[in-house]
């Protein structure tokens, strides 16, 4: 059951919608004008607002503006008996979830409400994550003892003030690229609007354009309704494109146009939609090398590399390892037994480890050690699962082929398995240990699976 506010100066229309949506099991409240509705929205959270456009005093578009400027906006559907292209464009630009003309079919309203409530659930989850992130970022500042990270955050603070500047964050997996991206958003003029994350590596090639730019009803099999892309959804806020190096070439061309012209076009549609969004990209790959290999467009690289930020790996800021570990111990323990969180031996183990998985690996290792340690301090025994050191190239060079030969495929498979274990199954980090790109590692794994 969802909580829905209906705003309309016509009591008959409010009554019809209340009955219609009440039968669907929703809790309905009413407001006869924009001012009353705004006071109600500020007083309590709603899952959805359905508002007429033309009303005395504050109209529906002004109400939409106020709701969208809130710390936690809720989805808004606008309805009107005076439909024009201009009013539809204005409503969608301002962030309306849907635009419905009177008289309307009951099914159209119900479908629009279902779609909007789906977004509302996502916003609720994002709000909870954002609250947790705010607490997390505050804690991380307390343990930011690395001069490199202090300089990085100072630089990030400067670019955050420039609301339209595209940022490219580079660094190994696990270094905290998304945290830095959120830091930029939260310290920017766009902080009160949406921060939307898209993992380009997790999207199949045939769905990238639909997810980024949206699609029209009937654009392809399964497109049973119009879908707003993330560029539209994030308009006014920030769009974080993680793993940008994995974006297919065809989608790269359309992304370039969106960045240059601030315009997107849904799949199957002819309308050019203006978007106002800051794009922050991140990658753990060498984009310049990908450009030389023809796997990444050079024009897109130069377009997103406006303000680069590089996060150094944890092994290059050793002074941060112990303070971070102690921070994670406090985070994972509900009760602390004194301040001796780590023995001197445990500190040496942590400092000697190479941390190919960076801060993420450190957090996972500390959580495991805390479970093993119980209420006492973490000791070397609790960290015995850590393997220090890297795969040494000297050891490989010293290998000699035995007289009776060896199973090369088995040796290669064993090395890959060791690299994956050392990096907690992080393919990018494992590939670096083996001197490969991630794509080459994936290809080799598939070939070895085929041979086995």
Q: Any idea which residue has 């930011």 for tokens? A: 144
Please tell me the least confidently modeled range out of 84-88, 230-234, 325-329, 347-351. 84-88
Q: Select the more confidently predicted residue: 130 or 13.
A: 13
pLDDT at position 121: 67
Average model confidence (pLDDT) across the chain = 84
Give the residue from 228, 109, 244 showing the smallest Cα distance to 167.
244
Contact indicator for 113, 93 with CB cutoff of 8 Å: no
Cα separations in angstroms, 48 against 117, 127, 236: 7, 15, 20
Domains of the chain: 3-121 (3.40.50.2300), 144-310 (3.40.50.300), 315-383 (1.10.8.60), 400-451 (1.10.10.60)
pTM: 0.58
DSSP assignment of 200-244 equals GGGS-GGGHHHHHHEE-TTSSTT--S-EE-HHHHTTTSEEEEETG
Contact indicator for 202, 183 with CB cutoff of 8 Å: no
Strand 214-215 versus strand 227-228 pairing type = antiparallel
Give the residue from 79, 83, 36 showing the smallest Cα distance to 60.
79
Whether residue 295 has pLDDT greater than 60: yes
Q: How many CB atoms lie within 10 A of CB 166?
A: 16
pLDDT at position 390: 40
Mean pLDDT, range 190-219, rounded to an integer: 88
Structure tokens at 174: 């696990």
Mean pLDDT, range 316-340, rounded to an integer: 80
């Amino acid at each position: 059951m969802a909580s829905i506010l209906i705003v309309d100066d016509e009591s008959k229309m409010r009554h019809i919608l209340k009955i219609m949506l009440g039968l669907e099991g929703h809790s309905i409240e009413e407001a006869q004008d924009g001012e009353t509705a705004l006071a109600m929205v500020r007083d309590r959270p709603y899952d959805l607002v359905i508002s007429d456009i033309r009303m005395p005093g504050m109209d529906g578009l002004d109400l939409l503006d106020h709701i969208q400027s809130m710390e936690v906006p809720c989805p808004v559907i606008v309805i009107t008996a005076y439909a024009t292209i201009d009013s539809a464009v204005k409503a969608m630009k301002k962030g309306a979830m849907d635009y419905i003309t009177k008289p309307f079919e009951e099914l159209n309203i119900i479908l629009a409400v279902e779609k909007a409530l789906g977004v509302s659930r996502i916003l609720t989850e994002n709000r909870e994550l954002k609250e947790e992130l705010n607490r997390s970022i505050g804690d991380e500042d307390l343990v930011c003892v690395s001069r490199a990270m202090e300089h990085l955050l100072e630089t990030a603070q400067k670019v955050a003030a420039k609301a339209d500047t595209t940022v490219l964050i580079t660094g190994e997996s696990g270094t905290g690229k998304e945290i830095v991206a959120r830091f930029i958003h939260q310290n920017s003029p766009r902080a009160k609007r949406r921060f939307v994350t898209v993992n380009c590596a997790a999207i199949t090639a045939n769905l990238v354009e639909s997810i980024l730019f949206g699609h029209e009803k009937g654009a392809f099999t399964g497109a049973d309704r119009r879908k707003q892309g993330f560029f539209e959804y994030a308009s006014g806020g920030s769009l974080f494109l993680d793993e940008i190096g994995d974006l297919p070439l065809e989608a790269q061309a359309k992304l370039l146009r969106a960045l240059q012209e601030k315009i997107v076009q849904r799949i199957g549609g002819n309308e050019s939609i203006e978007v106002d969004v800051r794009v922050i990209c991140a990658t753990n790959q060498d984009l310049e090398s990908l450009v030389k290999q023809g796997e990444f467009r050079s024009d897109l690289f130069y377009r997103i590399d406006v303000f680069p930020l590089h996060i150094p790996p944890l092994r290059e800021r050793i002074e941060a390892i112990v303070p971070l570990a102690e921070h994670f111990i406090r985070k994972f323990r509900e009760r602390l037994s004194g301040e001796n969180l780590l023995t001197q031996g445990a500190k040496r183990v942590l400092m000697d480890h190479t941390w190919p998985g960076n801060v993420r690996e450190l957090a996972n290792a500390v959580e495991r050690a805390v479970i093993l340690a119980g209420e006492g301090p973490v000791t070397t025994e609790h960290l015995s699962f850590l393997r220090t050191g890297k795969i040494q190239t000297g050891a490989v060079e010293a290998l000699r082929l035995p007289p009776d030969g060896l199973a090369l495929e088995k040796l290669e498979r064993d090395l890959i398995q060791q690299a994956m274990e050392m990096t907690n199954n992080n393919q990018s980090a494992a590939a670096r240990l083996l001197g490969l790109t991630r794509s080459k590692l994936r290809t080799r794994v598939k070939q070895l699976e085929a041979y086995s």
